[in-house]
């Protein structure tokens, strides 16, 4: 018997969860649920993360969490429990299937059947942010090779297991050559192991435009965290409604299943919410724990119900719908259809499967890492970069010399343009002189000289090569 941790959530959470549980029960899913309290009440009871230590323990013991949406109270600096859970439990993969149900649910894209696989732990969501000067704040974008390998391998394995033919990668590696460049590079490497799957890559901006315009050209799309966050909501909405989609968050140890939408406080307690997002999440959960045939039965019954025109208010359409129902009545209609197949929409078949276990990450032999310079970031309120260059050249030593100053990435020294707008945040690059074997003591000398010349150094970033390949970006205009 499988034991799953259950959180009924806030707003419409309890009513859509009860509706979904009634379907699981009627389909003999044979799952035991252990309920925990998370969300609004816990936040307001003084748990700033929205969850108690006991609840964490239950989740870690049972490994699977089935969660209705929760409300994050506005203001008061409460952290999103969803983000905390994804990161703390290592739920590296977020999967959102977005399939249109034309003509039964209104959509401009009748043939859409896309799965967005979003990296869930890294990228700008590391939440490492700093204010460095009066005028400039920064957020660190961190992308790791193990993080890329996990999510990209997951995307290909998902494609194989679900009979998908193509995996597309979205990045912005024409601009972020190191971070998104690594994601794209690992995509190309991993793809070599799956010759039966077609691959393609799009720069995220044109990729997003194509997804919004002609989603039927895509199959599985894998992408870094921030693009995935934006793109998966767009995909769900253009498929018909964000109210229909389920979402899985998968880790090596634990997994969490939920609806895409939020807790919809505006319609809470009225028995009008659509439970379909959570029903679809439960189907993904059943597949994950190997109860594929129960998943298949519920999925087909749900498709049939949608096809019958039995619709909740959010997707009710006087032409296509036959009956407007409440949350509970929709679940009852799905239960009545258990064992039925849709007549027009394609029915689903789920093969017996075991949870996907990725191979353990194999660290590669360390590359030859050489330090070749340092970027010194300076808070300076002057306007003429020539003046700053003259001051900073005084910091040169026998190993390092100033070669470049940029302002927000644009070269302003030497030979800058007076048109370039400058703020108070300057990146000053010191490079090793020819044939000098640099050591970090020389960088410390630069910092010491900076102190002596009253320069406000806000941070440094060492410049390395790896096996002779440059491990840092050039300045725009360099």
Binding site for ligand NAD (CB under 6 A): 12, 69-72, 82, 243, 258, 261-267, 273-274, 277, 314
Q: What residues contact residue 39 under an 8 Å CB cut-off, 6+ apart?
A: 7, 9, 10, 13, 50, 70, 71, 81, 263
Phi, psi of 422 (to 5 degrees): -120, 140
Smaller CB separation from ligand NAD, 204 or 273 = 273
In the complex, the smallest distance separating the C-beta of residue 91 from ligand NAD, rounded to whole angstroms, is 13
In the complex, the smallest distance separating the C-beta of residue 283 from ligand NAD, rounded to whole angstroms, is 16
User: How many CB atoms are located within 10 Å of the residue 137 CB?
Assistant: 10
Looking at residue 472, the DSSP 8-state letter turns out to be: S
Query: What is the H or E stretch that residue 66 is in?
Result: strand 64-67
Nearest CA among 390, 398, 388 for reference residue 423: 388
Smaller CB separation from ligand NAD, 125 or 413 = 125
Q: In the beta sheet, which residues pair with residue 376?
A: 428, 460
In the complex, the smallest distance separating the C-beta of residue 22 from ligand NAD, rounded to whole angstroms, is 16
Smaller CB separation from ligand NAD, 153 or 241 = 241
Nearest CA among 99, 122, 338 for reference residue 228: 122
Dig out the tokens for 90 from the structure. 């290592």
- Per DSSP, the three-state class of 233 is helix
In the complex, the smallest distance separating the C-beta of residue 302 from ligand NAD, rounded to whole angstroms, is 14
In the complex, the smallest distance separating the C-beta of residue 264 from ligand NAD, rounded to whole angstroms, is 4
In the complex, the smallest distance separating the C-beta of residue 71 from ligand NAD, rounded to whole angstroms, is 4
In the complex, the smallest distance separating the C-beta of residue 72 from ligand NAD, rounded to whole angstroms, is 4
Cβ distance 180 to 156 under 8 Å?
no
Query: What is the H or E stretch that residue 3 is in?
Result: strand 2-7
Smaller CB separation from ligand NAD, 112 or 264 = 264
Phi, psi of 397 (to 5 degrees): -135, -170
Residue nearest to ligand NAD (CB): 262
Smaller CB separation from ligand NAD, 120 or 406 = 120
Question: What is the secondary structure of 376-435 as a DSSP string?
Answer: EEEE---S-HHHHHHHHHTT--SSEEEEEEEETTEEEETT--TTS---SEEEEEEEEPTT
Residue 250 class from Cβ within 10 Å (0-12 exposed, 13-18 middle, 19+ buried)? buried
Cis omega (within 30 of 0) for bond into 8: no
Q: What is the C-alpha to C-alpha distance for residues 393 and 401, in angstroms, rounded to an integer? A: 7
In the complex, the smallest distance separating the C-beta of residue 402 from ligand NAD, rounded to whole angstroms, is 48
Smaller CB separation from ligand NAD, 69 or 215 = 69
In the complex, the smallest distance separating the C-beta of residue 111 from ligand NAD, rounded to whole angstroms, is 25
In the complex, the smallest distance separating the C-beta of residue 260 from ligand NAD, rounded to whole angstroms, is 7
Smaller CB separation from ligand NAD, 23 or 70 = 70
Smaller CB separation from ligand NAD, 94 or 100 = 94
Smaller CB separation from ligand NAD, 12 or 400 = 12
Nearest CA among 235, 198, 200, 232 for reference residue 216: 235
Phi, psi of 167 (to 5 degrees): -120, 125
In the complex, the smallest distance separating the C-beta of residue 146 from ligand NAD, rounded to whole angstroms, is 26
Smaller CB separation from ligand NAD, 265 or 409 = 265
Cis omega (within 30 of 0) for bond into 194: no
- Per DSSP, the three-state class of 50 is coil
Smaller CB separation from ligand NAD, 279 or 286 = 279
In the complex, the smallest distance separating the C-beta of residue 231 from ligand NAD, rounded to whole angstroms, is 16
Smaller CB separation from ligand NAD, 70 or 333 = 70
Indicate the pairing of strand 255-259 with strand 137-139: unpaired
């Amino acid at each position: 018997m499988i034991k799953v941790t259950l959180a009924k959530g806030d707003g419409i959470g309890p009513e859509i969860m009860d509706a979904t549980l009634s379907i699981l029960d009627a389909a003999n899913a044979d799952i035991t649920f252990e309920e925990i309290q998370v969300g609004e009440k816990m936040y307001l009871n003084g748990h700033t993360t929205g969850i108690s230590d006991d609840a964490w323990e239950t989740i870690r013991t049972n490994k699977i969490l089935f969660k209705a949406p929760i409300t994050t109270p506005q203001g008061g600096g409460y952290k999103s429990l969803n983000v905390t859970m994804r990161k703390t439990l290592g739920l590296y993969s977020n999967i959102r299937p977005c399939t249109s149900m034309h003509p039964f649910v209104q959509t401009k894209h009748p043939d859409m059947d896309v799965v967005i696989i979003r990296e869930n732990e890294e990228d700008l969501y590391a939440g490492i942010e700093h204010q460095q000067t009066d005028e400039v704040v920064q957020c660190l974008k961190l992308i790791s090779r193990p993080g890329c390998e996990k999510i990209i391998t997951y995307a290909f394995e998902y494609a194989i297991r679900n009979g998908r033919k193509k995996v597309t990668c979205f990045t912005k590696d024409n601009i972020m050559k190191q971070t998104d460049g690594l994601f794209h590079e690992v995509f190309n490497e991993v793809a070599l192991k799956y010759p039966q799957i077609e691959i393609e890559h799009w720069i995220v901006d044109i990729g997003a435009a194509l997804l919004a315009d002609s989603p039927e050209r895509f199959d599985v799309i894998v992408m870094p965290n921030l693009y995935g966050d934006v793109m998966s909501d767009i995909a769900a909405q253009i498929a018909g409604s964000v109210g229909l989609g389920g979402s899985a968050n998968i880790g090596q140890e634990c997994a969490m299943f939920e609806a895409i939408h939020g807790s919809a406080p505006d319609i809470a307690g009225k028995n009008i919410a659509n439970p379909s997002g959570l029903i679809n999440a439960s189907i993904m959960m059943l597949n994950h724990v190997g109860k594929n045939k129960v998943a298949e039965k519920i999925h087909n019954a749900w498709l049939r119900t949608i096809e019958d025109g039995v619709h909740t208010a959010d997707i009710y359409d006087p032409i296509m719908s036959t009956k407007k129902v409440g949350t509970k009545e929709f679940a009852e209609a799905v239960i009545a259809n258990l064992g039925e197949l849709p007549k027009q929409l394609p029915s689903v078949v789920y093969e017996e499967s075991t949870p996907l276990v990725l191979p353990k990450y194999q660290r590669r032999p360390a590359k030859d890492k050489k330090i070749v310079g340092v970027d010194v970031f300076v808070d300076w309120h002057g306007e003429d970069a020539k003046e700053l260059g003259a001051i900073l050249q005084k910091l040169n030593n026998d190993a390092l010399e100033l070669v470049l100053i940029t302002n927000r990435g644009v070269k302003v020294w030497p030979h800058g343009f007076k048109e370039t707008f400058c703020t108070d945040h300057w990146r000053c690059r010191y490079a090793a002189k020819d044939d000098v074997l640099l050591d970090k003591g020389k960088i410390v000398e630069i910092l010491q000289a900076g102190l002596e010349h009253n320069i406000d150094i806000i941070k440094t970033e060492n410049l390395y090569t790896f096996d002779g390949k440059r491990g840092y970006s050039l300045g725009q205009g360099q």
